[in-house]
Structure 1
Amino acid sequence: MNMHSGRGEKKTMLPEVYELECPAGTIPIHIQASQRKTIGIQIRADQRVEIRVPYRTAYHEVISVIQEKADWIVSHYERAVCEAQERKSAPCPYQDRTWLPCGDEKVFLRIRYEEGRTRAQLQSVREKDGRITLAVTAGPGDGAGIRSLISQWYRHAGARKIAARAHAYAGQMGVSFRKITVKEQKTCWGSCSGKQNLNFNWKLLLMPMPILDYVVVHELAHLKQMNHSEQFWKEVEAVLPDYHERRRFLREHEKEYAVY
């Protein structure tokens, strides 16, 4: 949707929030002007609804797009609310003597709880007979601290793995990138910036390698096509002919990994 107006028009001061009325109540939609060329709507995992528009977009154009997409916004917003409630009610996956996914491997988690401890700490990482064991010490009930500690370990341990896959596929695809960042991302598995920087969600390291490879190739393809056009998908298919199956797996199983 190309919704920007003529070059000669001055930048329009847009309100920060538009309130969309629906049967379930009011949904605040946050309006953000940016250098993008098209209007895009995103519903984040924390239920924040954002519409990003090019500079010089008239307010009536923004409202028109919101009204046109109102049914889509409401349905996806309600889905995000339900998924957030499911995550809150889901049992914490970080328990003593549990197995954690790690690509094509498994990680065994040991937790020793100590009264009075205020900060979770990674005591040791052991590798034996192809098995990785993480030993953690934490205060009772410190699920957030344990989660933060484990995610840090995944990010540190997996950064080189993702970088190696990205460099290998970049050579195959004839593209280059500046840097890779592995971090917590609430709404996407990967992203590619206009400065040729690649960002990846650390939870990809939990998934089977073919799925990690799909997201890596997907983002590398954006270095050639900064869109999801037919040509973009041809770039992906040229490297991964079975990308449809990998993409389907990601869509069908992403909730299983979102709890980590």
Structure 2
Amino acid sequence: MEKIKLKNRKIEFEIIRSSRKTISIIVNADQELVVRSPKRTSIKNIKNLLKEKENWILEKLAKMSKIKNPPKDKEFIRGDTLFYLGRECKLIPITEANIESLEIELVEEKLIIRFPVKFEDNKEKRKIEIRQKLIGWYRSQARIKINELINIHKKYLDVEPNKIVIKKQKKRWGSCSSKKNLNFNWKIIMAPLKVIEYLVVHELVHLIHPNHSKDFWQTVAKIIPDYEKKKEWLRINGRLLTI
């Protein structure tokens, strides 16, 4: 790692060299400064460029510092919590003698997880089974809620998506394909309802405007006037929405 001083602040940065022709400066969600550069670019030239871009870099670091870190891996024991529709729900695991498979029930702000006796003494297997069952439950809840919101807003926008897909996406909350298929990350069901609504409207508007043009954002704003707040909520809290 290299170091540079930007406005009295010492910052470490990583250089990744390749056959590229230009220099790229990246500040990622972990507040790491990364420079991608051509193989023969000198350290001096890289540091000179970082000095030129110091205001942008410091602003970006400040912005990224607001992003909340992902939670620790869950053990799925009493006291653990998970988000659902923006609310933090307590996990209540219960051993049941008369069931053969895991069952999940949401009661007020409690996620009750009933598991058969056969999992009681095998903590690792129980953890794996609970996680898989929870993901399935969240996906089904996401499908219900997202379809409800699509049916509401597609009428106003006069659009008709081809297919709605709820799936795992590493870096995206939603997407719209050229075939008019709308894809949603199942984890979005953990976010507040208004944030989910923003995401649904965002993807529906892509059926009219395929890019993020001025017209696109104006159309989004007609339905979600404070959409920027919803975008910011996802940017800051998105890493918390996980199992």
Give the TM interval when normalised to the shorter protein: 0.5 to 0.7
**Uncovered stretches (5+) of structure 1, i.e. residues with no partner:** 1-22, 30-62, 114-120
Paired residue for 1:110, among 92, 97, 103? 92
CA, structure 1 residues 71+168, in 2 after alignment: closer, same or farther (shift >3 Å)? Answer: same
Partner of 2:3: none
Paired residue for 1:100, among 66, 82, 93? 82
Please give the alpha-carbon distance, in whole angstroms, between the structure 1 residues aligned to 2:90 and 2:130.
14
1:107 and 1:132 in contact (8 A); partners too: yes
* 1:71 has 2:25 as partner: yes
Q: Aligned-pair distance for 1:77?
A: 8.5
1:108 and 1:134 in contact (8 A); partners too: no
With a CA cutoff of 8 Å and minimum separation of 6, indicate the structure with the bigger relative contact order: 2
* 1:247 has 2:199 as partner: no
* 1:231 has 2:221 as partner: no
Q: Paired residues, what number?
A: 188
Partner of 1:24: 14
Letter in 2 for 1:76: N
Q: Aligned-pair distance for 1:110?
A: 3.4
CA, structure 1 residues 100+169, in 2 after alignment: closer, same or farther (shift >3 Å)? Answer: same
Partner of 2:102: 123
TM-score under structure 2 normalisation? Answer: 0.65
* Secondary structure of the structure 2 residue equivalent to 1:219: helix
Q: Aligned-pair distance for 1:101?
A: 1.7
* 1:158 has 2:137 as partner: no
Show the 5 A alignment for 1:1-260. Answer: 24=14, 26=16, 63-64=20-21, 67=22, 70-72=24-26, 75-76=27-28, 79=31, 87=70, 90-97=71-78, 98-103=80-85, 107-111=89-93, 123-126=102-105, 128=107, 132-136=111-115, 138=119, 139-142=122-125, 143-257=127-241, 259-260=242-243
Please give the alpha-carbon distance, in whole angstroms, between the structure 1 residues aligned to 2:141 and 2:188.
12
* Secondary structure of the structure 1 residue equivalent to 2:136: helix
Partner of 1:15: none
CA, structure 1 residues 122+215, in 2 after alignment: closer, same or farther (shift >3 Å)? Answer: farther
Q: CA RMSD in A?
A: 3.2
Please give the alpha-carbon distance, in whole angstroms, between the structure 2 residues aligned to 1:27 and 1:77.
21
CA, structure 1 residues 80+227, in 2 after alignment: closer, same or farther (shift >3 Å)? Answer: farther
Please give the alpha-carbon distance, in whole angstroms, between the structure 2 residues aligned to 1:239 and 1:231.
13
Whichever of the two has the greater Rg, that structure is 2
Deviations 1:116-164 (A, max 9, x none): xxxxx85223455675523245432344443222111110232111111
TM-score under structure 1 normalisation? Answer: 0.61
Letter in 1 for 2:181: N
Q: Which stretches of structure 1, 4 residues or longer, exceed 6 Å deviation after superposition?
A: 80-83
